[in-house]
Amino acid sequence: MAASSYDTIVVGSGPGGYVAAIRATQLGQKTAVVEYDKLGGRCLNYACIPAKAVLRSADLLSEIRESEEFGLKVSGVEVDYAAIQARREKVVSTLTSGVGGLFKKGGIDVIEGRGSLSADGDVLVQTAGGERLQLGARNVILATGSVGRPIPGVEFGGRVIGTEEAWALPEVPARLAVAGAGASGAEIASAFARLGSEVLLIEMLEGVLPSEDADISRIVERGLKRQGIAVHTSTPVTDVTADESGVTFSYGSDSTQVDYLVIAAGRGADVEGLGLAEAGVTLDERGLVQVDGALRTSRAGVYAIGDLVPGPALAHKASDEGIIAAEDIAGRPTHPLAYVDIPRATFCTPNVGSFGLTEAQAREQGHDVVVGKVPYGAVGGGTVYGDRTGMVKVVGESKYGELLGGHIVGARATELIQELVNVRALEGGFPELARIIHGHPTLSEAVMEAGRAADGWLIHG
């Protein structure tokens, strides 16, 4: 082992790695982060943040287009896509330079290069300048994230692109196809359809957002179709051929040509060249790094977090795992993550926020299920702010009033879901939710009313 120069070395600076590094220094560990690309990881540079920056422009455009309903006549509205992209870059650089600032403040060393593990547990770094460093650390946290995976028989390249590339397209394509209607696919379709593309959204499984509650996924499908998106579910994409001018492919019994085909069909752990086998770090059958509740791998002193390990591939999950790993290294008692309670947010229009079990999952698991469903239109806020079609759905267990799951679709659903997560985290159930006073007129009153509906005494129903 090389002389131990660090207490903790983190490989990868995404929301998992950078949060782990900051927590480690807070706990007195001398820490370094190895990153070969940009600080902030894929999330800040290519994925979550750029996606939401472009979606914000699309949302604003929708509001302006609907403004007549609110008594405002706006004319001459144009999409300046170059300016949208410039704003995206500015949002990204503001946030990534913030990460750099936090590292400086915490005295965290940044080592630019590609990290891997050696057989004796050191971190090897291949720097951009061609240098090869060998660094010793008492503990290593692997946080290298994930990469997009193509669908069988299709390769990325040219106009067949992944979700990260979609948010940085050089133009608004005239015709865009998205294969995969999960969160990323639905977001891309919803943004580009509103910015002016003719969009096809094609999903192999039965509905859009197939992992969401069936009621929610139905409402989202209707919403996406209202934006002019041609949605095809239970339909595989096949026979893809691409050249410089476009992409031709089949979907079901049809075939078509588009300017770009986005493959939004899943991701895989970025373990390439990490030296895991040499270091004795075990992967599971899906190629994810096997960890215990404190994110320890099979190799003593080596932790793995974020998209590298099982659980939902979400930024906030990665960050929480980073905190757990850093605290375990520091000898603090840790709390294993309750994966089912991690909120999920999808920023297409309509917005979706959810946590926990869908109604179908709760029934399959044998719970004595009670459901409370309330449309936004049932409360004043829904009508005042112009979204009566949104819905809050609470899935509960009748005996003790436990909140098993929460599902919200409509304006601000991505923010509203947090209340249900908090109620559950603080060991409240739907009867408690039903009696918490909510401000009026807010959309959050629909969340309270869903608690009342589950408890059998919906007021505005």
Beta bridge partners of 406: 355, 394
Whole-angstrom distance, CA of residue 354 vs CA of residue 199 = 26
HSE-CB at 438 with a 13 A cutoff on CA atoms is 22
Cβ closest to ligand FAD, residue 304 vs residue 433: 304
Closest CA to 211 of 314, 412, 354: 354
Catalytic entry in 316, 407, 438, 440: 440
Minimum distance from CB of 203 to ligand FAD (Å)?
Answer: 17
Residue 243 CB burial class (10 angstroms; 0-12, 13-18, ≥19): exposed
Residues that bind ligand FAD (CB under 6 A): 11-17, 34-37, 41-43, 47-48, 51-52, 114-116, 143-146, 163-164, 184, 270, 274, 306-307, 313-316, 318
Cβ closest to ligand FAD, residue 15 vs residue 429: 15
Closest CA to 197 of 179, 178, 173, 181: 173
Minimum distance from CB of 305 to ligand FAD (Å)?
Answer: 6
Rg for the chain, CA atoms, rounded: 23
Cβ closest to ligand FAD, residue 291 vs residue 454: 291
For the four alpha carbons of 232, 233, 235 and 240, in that order, the dihedral sign comes to positive
Active site residue 440: yes
176 near 200, Cβ under 8 Å? yes
434 near 370, Cβ under 8 Å? no
Cβ closest to ligand FAD, residue 41 vs residue 406: 41
Cβ closest to ligand FAD, residue 46 vs residue 251: 46
Minimum distance from CB of 116 to ligand FAD (Å)?
Answer: 6
Whole-angstrom distance, CA of residue 121 vs CA of residue 275 = 10
Minimum distance from CB of 122 to ligand FAD (Å)?
Answer: 14
Q: Is 137 helix (H, G, I), strand (E, B) or coil?
A: strand
Place of tokens 């940085």: 168
Minimum distance from CB of 457 to ligand FAD (Å)?
Answer: 35
The whole-angstrom distance between residue 262's C-alpha and the CA centroid of its chain comes to: 17
Please give the positions annotated as active site. Answer: 440
